[in-house]
Amino acid sequence: MTDNIITSLADTSFYKIQRRIALKNCGVIDPENIDEYLAMDGYMALHKVLTEMTPDDVIQVMLDSGLRGRGGAGFPTGLKWKFAKGYDAPQKYVCCNADEGDPGAFMDRSVLEGDPHVVLEAMAIAGYAIGSSQGYIYVRAEYPVAVKRLNIALQQAREYGLFGKNIYGTGFDFDIDIRLGAGAFVCGEETALMTSIEGNRGEPRPRPPFPAEKGLFQSPSILNNVETWANIPQIILNGADWFSSVGTEKSKGTKVFALGGKIRHTGLVEIPMGTPLSTVIDEIGGGVPNGKKFKAAQTGGPSGGCIPASHINVQMDYEHLAEIGSIMGSGGLIVMDEDNCMVDIAKFFLTFTCDESCGKCTPCRIGTKRMLEILDRITSGKGTMEDIDKLEDLAYYIKDNALCGLGQTAPNPVLSTIRFFRDEYEAHINDRHCPAAVCKELFHYVVDPDKCIGCTQCLRNCPPFAITKTDYIAEGHKLPSVKIDNDKCIKCGACIEKCKFDAISKQ
Amino acid sequence: METKKIAFLGTAEQEAELLAAIDDMRNLPGALMPVMQKAQEIYGYLPIEVQEIISDAMDVPIEKIYGIATFYAQFNLEPKGKHQISVCLGTACYVKGSQLIFDEISKQLGIGEGGCTDDRNFSLSSCRCVGACGLAPVMLVDDDVYSQMTPGRVEEVLAKYA
């Protein structure tokens, strides 16, 4: 509110700069009521392709639109469809990747929960284009609401005759089966996902053959991510030119980011490709809170990298993010401030990928483990300068030799933090000091004896009894200050929480 | 204490329900995962006995089923109790004697790390820091936090969930 005038939500800085295409209906329609989707031109795109377009027309529109995969890799969607159409087979499959596994990304969940029909409609369009009558949605079991709404949507679409046999009386058949994931990050990789749908351990397969030739059940298949699907009906209705007018030369359309971390306004942000990162952080996100300084933004989750303050004006599109060693990824965008240790962040992501490595190929299974051991050494103050070189050697080896996308990108967080925050690695190694005071063995708590009034709240709450009284009484105080014995201190932080006088700090 | 094998308590009704579900799904392409998910829904976990039922009914080698069950994080091979106890063995709690708390619970319930009581009421695990070091030592029963625990209070806490 400004001067008693209530600003419309759409006019707030959070929404004003956004351009909502994939999220058009999210939060606008009732996702459990197909009539509301129909009122927003729902299933009109499917009607249009079935009655006015040939499969080749549809693929041409997709190619012209310049839509690229929103799951992260950015492969042109139309090209994928064209390849799959080119193979003759009695059965082909259309798959939807809804196994959103990146920690900190939730755009696919929002589309599935807020606008499930858009995914169904888009998949049917793809089915017509490549010549398939069967789709699969592979959705993580951790999203029960999404699963429920997808099932409701499917049921309603079948009742309306928009799914199943002889859709719109054109003789085109299409239906979808929903399969639940079971908690394996690697199943977000396309061949692993298909292996999992087939009822196996979700391990990736070597490519070629690519899924467009031999995918699910050894048949030609396409796999697109939820956000990619969400763009498609509007591209069909509004035309390729409309879509390609948004974005940059090589990255068309918009991208949804899940903005989180040390930022004032968090949430889903859909922006035209090429929007500078600074616009997202300062204008949409409202900047870093608590007077702290922006240190880095992390994109692409465990497969991505960190963008430092010196690159805050980078354009958010596939090419520019790749240029600075990060990736678009599925859209996680985590903001970090001066209190985050970049070595610790690298270790966090590598712990994740090491844990989620399926174990099929050696570079990923053993390589990530060795890298993690080195990072453990560095963050506990036992690293050497050679360790940085070893990390880089291993990282490039794994990138070049791992079987699938998980392994090939797992070293990215390490490489990008070494590239932009080498000084932090060096401080951990040479000075045995963690500048952000995160790595427990590389900082300590100190008491400022002039601020300490001797209340002994900290002393009484210290689990290992590491705090004792001194003889020193500061001017104006009545009781002696305390001190911390660093040999006994376990860095639990209980003292700093209890101190009301700001007398204890990390150094 | 070693975790002993927990008796399988599956009923004939559960088996009938599973077999009926298998008959329904048999012709589904890639039916094994949905069947295993259904089985876990019926039994709450996937002990070797349930894997054997699936193996026989679907004519799939048991090692394939075991391979899948151990690959995905969501399949449990051990049952979970109605109430889940976790004792923090993070540094702050540990130096305040949380190991003694853990040992006392273990003794009273007769189960070790990862174990579940025969009546399926409690399962026990240890965890790393829960971020409540000022309240050390800490144990959790489901979402309830018990702070500044002593071995003497264990009986009283467990009694609330008996």
In a domain, A389, yes or no: yes
* B4 band by pLDDT with thresholds 50, 70 and 90: low
- Among B94, B47, B136, B32, CA closest to A200: B32
pLDDT digits (tens, 9 = 90+) for A459-494: 998 988 999 999 999 999 999 999 999 999 988 888
Q: Which of A186, A220, A244 is the last residue of a domain?
A: A244
Q: Is there a single domain that holds both residue A111 and residue A57? A: yes
pLDDT given at position B13 = 95
Give a yes or no: residue A14 inside a domain. no
- The confidence band for A94, taking pLDDT boundaries of 50, 70 and 90, is very high
Q: Which CATH number fits the domain that encloses residue A115? A: 3.40.50.11540
CA dihedral over B115, B120, B124, B127, signed as positive or negative: positive
The pLDDT of A366-374, averaged and rounded, is: 97
* Per-residue model confidence (pLDDT) at position B132: 78
Q: Is the domain of A259 the same as that of A239?
A: no
Contacts of A143 (CB under 8 A, 6+ apart): A98, A100, A109, A112, A113
Percent of chain A with pLDDT over 70: 99
pLDDT at res. B162: 87
| A284 and A258 housed in the same domain | yes
Q: Are A344 and A414 in contact (CB under 8 A)?
A: no
Q: Which of residues 128-157 of B touch A (CB under 8 A)?
A: 129, 133-134, 136
Q: Residue B68: list chain A partners with CB under 8 A.
A: 199-201
Parallel, antiparallel, or unpaired: how do β-strands A93-98 and A305-308 relate? unpaired
Yes or no, beta carbons of B34 and A358 under 8 Å apart: no
Percentage of chain A beyond pLDDT 90 is: 88
Q: Do B133 and A463 touch (CB under 8 A)?
A: yes
Q: Is the predicted pLDDT of residue B1 greater than 50, yes or no? A: no
pLDDT band at B2 (very low <50, low <70, confident <90, very high): very low
Nearest CB to A498: which of B31, B32, B134?
A: B134
A22-66 per-position pLDDT tens digit: 999 999 999 999 999 999 999 999 999 999 999 999 999 999 999
Please name which of A118, A97, A111 lies closest in space to residue A145, comparing C-alpha atoms: A111
Mutate which of A92, A151, A201 to test chain B, going by most B C-beta atoms within 10 A? A201
Instruction: Answer yes or no: do A490 and B91 touch at CB < 8 A.
Output: yes
Per CB-CB distance under 8 Å, the chain A contacts of B75 are 182
pLDDT digits (tens, 9 = 90+) for A480-489: 999 999 999 9
Residue A152 lies in a domain: yes
What stretches of A293-384 show up as alpha helix (H) in DSSP?
318-323, 342-356, 362-379
Identify whether A309 is part of a domain.
yes
A162 plus A203 within the same structural domain: yes
Task: Give a yes or no: residue A459 inside a domain.
Answer: yes
**Residue A238 pLDDT level (bands cut at 50, 70, 90):** very high
Does residue A3 form part of some domain? no
Chain B CA closest to residue A461 = B134
Q: Give the mean pLDDT of A91-100.
A: 96
Residues of A in contact with B147 (CB under 8 A): none
Of B29, B32, B72, the CB nearest to A217: B29
Q: Most A CBs within 10 Å: which of B72, B77, B148, as the mutation test of the A interface? A: B72
Residues A167 and A306 in one domain: no
- Can you say how many angstroms the Cα of residue A59 is from the centroid of all Cα atoms in its chain? 28
Q: Are A467 and A459 in contact (CB under 8 A)?
A: yes
Residue B74 has pLDDT above 90, yes or no: no
Same domain, A118 and A163: yes
Task: Please give the radius of gyration of chain B, using alpha carbons only, rounded to the nearest integer.
Answer: 19
Residues A371 and A425 reside in one and the same domain: yes
Q: How sure is the predictor about A4, in pLDDT bands with cuts at 50, 70 and 90?
A: confident
Write down the pLDDT at residue A2.
56
Report pLDDT for A463: 87
A192, part of any domain: yes
Residue A140 and residue A180: Cα distance in Å, rounded? 6
Nearest-Cα distance to chain A for B109, in Å, is: 28
A214, A244, A274: which is the final residue of a domain? A244
Contact criterion met (CB < 8 Å) for A198 and B29? yes
- pLDDT tens for each residue of A428-444: 999 999 999 999 899 99
Assess contact for B32 and B26: CB atoms under 8 A: no
Q: Are residues A56 and A143 in the same domain?
A: yes
The total domain count for chain A is 4
Q: Which of residues A295, A326, A357 is at a domain's end?
A: A326
If you average pLDDT over residues A253-274, what whole number do you get? 94
Q: Do A371 and A488 have their domain in common?
A: no
Of the candidate ranges A95-99, A173-177, B92-96, the one whose mean pLDDT is the lowest = B92-96
Q: Does position B3 have pLDDT exceeding 80, yes or no?
A: no
For B13-47, the pLDDT digits (tens) are 999 999 999 999 999 999 999 999 999 999 989 99
Residue span of the structural domain in which A292 resides: 254-326
Residue B121, pLDDT above cutoff 70: yes
Under 8 Å between Cβ of A219 and A93: yes
Q: Which CATH number characterizes residue A484's domain?
A: 3.30.70.3270
Residue B5: pLDDT band (50, 70, 90) is low
Q: What is d(CA A426, CA A385) in angstroms, rounded to the nearest whole number?
A: 7
Average pLDDT, chain A: 94
CB within 8 Å of chain A, chain B residues 61-80? 64, 67-68, 71-75
Is A451 found in the same domain as A492?
yes
- In angstroms, the CA A411 to CA A401 distance is 12
